[in-house]
Amino acid sequence: MLGAVNPWAYHPHPEVWALVAFLVGAYIYAVRVIGPTAVPAGHAPVTRRQIGWFIGAIAMLWAASDYPIHDIGEGYLYSAHMLQHMMLSYFLPPMVLLATPEWLLRLLIGKGRIYAALKWLCHPVVAGLTFNVVVMITHIPGVVNNSVKSAPLHYSLHVMVVSTGLLMWMPVIGPFKELRIGDFPKMIYLFAQSVVPTVPAGWLVFAEGAVYKVYDIPTRVWGLSVQDDQQLAGAIMKTGGSVFLWTVIGVLFFKTFNKQFRRENTAHSYRRDTQIPAAEITGNAETDLTFDEVAAEFDRTEPAPDPHASPH
């Protein structure tokens, strides 16, 4: 494939089609067959939003793993390879978690050792560290060069980046609410995840010569040189990693600020209720008081003592 004259030659990927078909079939079976027995009566097993996220996740997986991104990224442009990994590690995992109902994940994980292991792996420190270690490993020249030559290694790395991406996003938007962290810790956590990608991104932008020898080939796509390809890959990593995470942080910030503002505004509101109590409406009293009744009530009430009167 490396010496192919036409880099845009179509190559079918039946293994990708089989994976997509399996995931779609499994999701439909879980929602339609298992779901109605797993949720309380009268509750839908899945929401329309979750279905939308699932469709988006499948589309993202398919686009990243099939022609042309996979073919160009595997043999011609490292920037396409970088785009593929960004889609699988940063964009796909949160979509998968948002598409997964809580009941489905609890059935898959259970309450035993697997759940305990998942709880430990989803700790923000463990999940963040694991994800960033994998990010660094997948940019080692030896790993990249060998993954391009070995399909099993290439797909194994894909499984690794998706799995660690799921763990990294679990404390933020995972289906298990008990594993999520607070809104402000989420912002700090995601900011920390945005720091590490800047290291290999900057390295690729300012590196001289071919960092990955496997992409230093005569056939060039779009006329990009090896140097231009590496710089584009660094820009993709910077944009796809840091800017994407900063955007999520911004959304969380304004969402949290708006929630806090509404809470404080409600607590200190001096606006009366829209419905006036019936007793305050003129002419709505149950009975009308007469002058004699009011005078009699005053006569039964003892006058308050005068504080300025001298004691006997």
Domain ranges of the chain: 14-266
Judge whether residue 1 has pLDDT over 50: no
Nearest CA among 116, 117, 112, 143 for reference residue 130 = 117
Q: Please compute Rg for the chain using Cα positions.
A: 32
Q: Are 196 and 136 in contact (CB under 8 A)?
A: yes
Residue 277: what pLDDT? 55
The mean-pLDDT minimum among 51-55, 89-93, 96-100, 209-213 falls in 209-213
Judge whether residue 21 has pLDDT over 80: yes
Nearest CA among 167, 235, 166, 169 for reference residue 197 = 235
Residue 19: what pLDDT? 97
Q: Are 168 and 93 in contact (CB under 8 A)?
A: yes
Q: What is the tens place of the pLDDT at every residue in 58-72?
A: 999 999 999 999 999
The mean-pLDDT minimum among 156-160, 178-182, 238-242 falls in 238-242
Residue 258: what pLDDT? 78
Beta-carbon contacts of residue 268 (< 8 Å; ≥ 6 apart): none
Tell me the average pLDDT across 71-76: 92
Question: What DSSP letter does each residue of the chain carry, written as one string?
Answer: -TT-S-TT-----HHHHHHHHHHHHHHHHIIIIIHHHHS-TT--SS-HHHHHHHHHHHHHHHHHHSTTHHHHHHHT-HHHHHHHHHIIIIIHHHHHHHHS-HHHHHHHH-SSHHHHHHHHHTSHHHHHHHHHHHHHHTT-HHHHHHHHH-HHHHHHHHHHHHHHHHHHHHHHH-S-GGGPPPHHHHHHHHHHHHHTTHHHHHHHHH--S-SSGGG--S--STT--HHHHHHHHHHHHIIIIIIHHHHHHHHHHHHHHHHHHHHHHHHT--PPPSSPPGGGSTT--SSPPPHHHHHHHHHHSPPPPPTTSPP-
Distance separating alpha carbons of residues 123 and 233, to the nearest angstrom: 30
Tell me the average pLDDT across 138-164: 92
Question: pTM of this prediction?
Answer: 0.80
* Burial of 299 from C-beta contacts in 10 A (0-12 / 13-18 / 19+): exposed
Judge whether residue 112 has pLDDT over 80: yes
State the pLDDT confidence band at 269, using cuts at 50, 70 and 90: low
Judge whether residue 32 has pLDDT over 60: yes
Per residue, the 3-state secondary structure of 30-79, as one string, reads: HHHHHHHHHCCCCCCCCCHHHHHHHHHHHHHHHHHHCCCHHHHHHHCCHH
